[in-house]
Structure 1
Amino acid sequence: MLDYFAALLAITFVALAIIYDVRFRPVPWDIYRPKAAWLRAGIYFCCCWLLSYLSGGMQLILDSPVVSTAQLNDPGWVRFTLGLYGFILIAYAGVWSNCTPVFERQKNPLISALFGFLWGSSSGQLFLAVWLIVGKAGLPDWGTWLVTFAVLAAWQPNWHNIYWDHYIAPEHDTPMTQKIKALGCHIPNLAIALTWLTFYENYLLFVSLQVIACISASLGMRYP
């Protein structure tokens, strides 16, 4: 069944790319068009989900228990997990959203939340896929954490600065808010969530953390 889903993702990727090329290729890149942005985002989301499938991450999410009985009986796991979810909510629904200029964009919470869910589920699976791929190198846990963090810490800001923040997300930052979000949200999110994943390997919950973060961010920026 998962193979069919991956095939559907590949077909969707091609279809979105063709639609985008036909409808929006002539549109100047410096003009923000929500429909074009959704198509670009959809293409990116498909790539992330396909990478998750190819890395085995998608299969692990489906096959692994969400939480084990041993974890529920472990006070350390409970405290770490609740603390991490609390941090994500405060960082993204609080700090990130309050530091985001929305200009004159109207609220459309259902559309924004849908985009955030797709964004978060793809980003979470991208992070998981990189962690799994690095893990195949046979490094100790701390080495896998370090390499994964280095790869994602290099990828995320460059991807956002070069493409995402210009052609997918509407304008939502200033130089100052970028620094606040990086230091107060993104870097600790990546560092703490990867540590939690390395310790406990709760794959679905790991992805859900990024879903919460991205839904909060999408609502905060009023994604159109």
Structure 2
Amino acid sequence: MRSEPFRPAAAWLRAYLYFVACGVFAYSTGALDALLNSRFVPSNAGALWWLCSAALLVFITVAYGVLWSRWTLRFNRKLDVFPQLIFGLSWGIGYALSFLGFWHLSLIAGDGWPTWAVFLLAYTLISLWQVLWQDLVWDIYVSPEHDTPWTTKVKVPCTHVPNVTFSLLYFVAFDAYWGFVAAQVLALTLCSFAMRMPAPWCKDVTPAATRHPFVFGLSHGGGYVSPDPANDPHLKAIGAPY
């Protein structure tokens, strides 16, 4: 079922309310203070840190700059560099702060636990939150339509899951707060450009997210379903099967 028309100004307002909430969450768990008091190059940095940092940079660039972008519907939305850059930077900072908040929440809940157990708890909390928030809220009320049921299935295991896994492992191994934030900022800035996030003042018509039925009468953002998939130019542009 189709949602209300996409309204860029409302989408930006909702997004920035969430980004502020992410900052408050990070502050309340001590993550923001830890970030601001950490060094960009960790004190235990050595050849391995540089190697892992370069590897993470390459992965993020390929995963989001190539794969995620290749599988993203744009519906002829124009490239609007400044607002898409601002939105992407804000998106990356907000999400990174929320992830760090979950890490510190796990440290509090697992006081005295070994690092691997804290990691598993944080990873579980981040994964559950991302699945619920992204599918039930973000992809409906913030993002313009940019996925299909097929792209969702391929993007998650090829980009999002390894991003959270590798970035969190990198963060834990090196206590690299700023490196972790930088990775998420790069990833989501690339996403903002790839999906062509409309500026708040944009008047162009763009499809809103297609709402698919979910449990308990809720809806989730399941992606665009074409009435004529075999001849749909938008599906052909991203190589989606029909």
**TM-score under structure 1 length normalisation:** 0.84
Aligned AA for 2:115?
D
Q: Percent identity?
A: 34
Aligned AA for 1:48?
C
CA distance in 2, matches of 1:160, 1:64: 29
Pick from 46, 52, 68 the counterpart of residue 80 of structure 1.
52
What is the aligned partner in structure 2 of residue 215 from structure 1? 189
Pick from 48, 51, 67 the counterpart of residue 25 of structure 2.
51
CA distance in 1, matches of 2:63, 2:32: 27
CA shift for structure 1 position 104: 2.2
- Give the root-mean-square deviation of aligned CA atoms: 1.4
What is the aligned partner in structure 1 of residue 10 from structure 2? 36
Aligned 8 A contact 2:42 2:174 in 1? no
Unaligned runs of 5+ in 2: 199-242
Unaligned runs of 5+ in 1: 1-27
What is the aligned partner in structure 2 of residue 180 from structure 1? 154
Structure that is richer in helix per residue? 1
Change (3 A) 1:140 1:70: closer
Aligned AA for 1:132?
H
Instruction: After superposing the two structures, state which structure 1 stretch, 60-69 or 79-88, moved more.
Output: 60-69
CA distance in 1, matches of 2:70, 2:173: 32
What is the aligned partner in structure 2 of residue 135 from structure 1? 107
Change (3 A) 1:101 1:167: same
Aligned 8 A contact 2:29 2:105 in 1? yes
Aligned 8 A contact 2:23 2:98 in 1? yes
Per-residue CA deviation, residues 125-183 of structure 1 (Å, 9 max, x unaligned), is: 10011001101222211111111111111111221111111110000000111111101
The answer on 1:201 being equivalent to 2:175 is yes
Runs of 4+ in 1 over 3 A off after TM superposition: none
CA distance in 2, matches of 1:93, 1:212: 9
Pick from 93, 99, 102 the counterpart of residue 74 of structure 2.
102
CA distance in 2, matches of 1:77, 1:204: 13
The answer on 1:92 being equivalent to 2:64 is yes
Number of residues of Structure 1 aligned to a counterpart in Structure 2: 195
CA distance in 2, matches of 1:56, 1:68: 18
CA distance in 2, matches of 1:111, 1:68: 32
The answer on 1:118 being equivalent to 2:112 is no
Aligned AA for 1:84?
L
Other structure's SS at 2:79 match? coil
CA distance in 1, matches of 2:97, 2:133: 16
CA shift for structure 1 position 221: 0.1
Aligned 8 A contact 1:29 1:167 in 2? no
CA shift for structure 1 position 99: 0.6
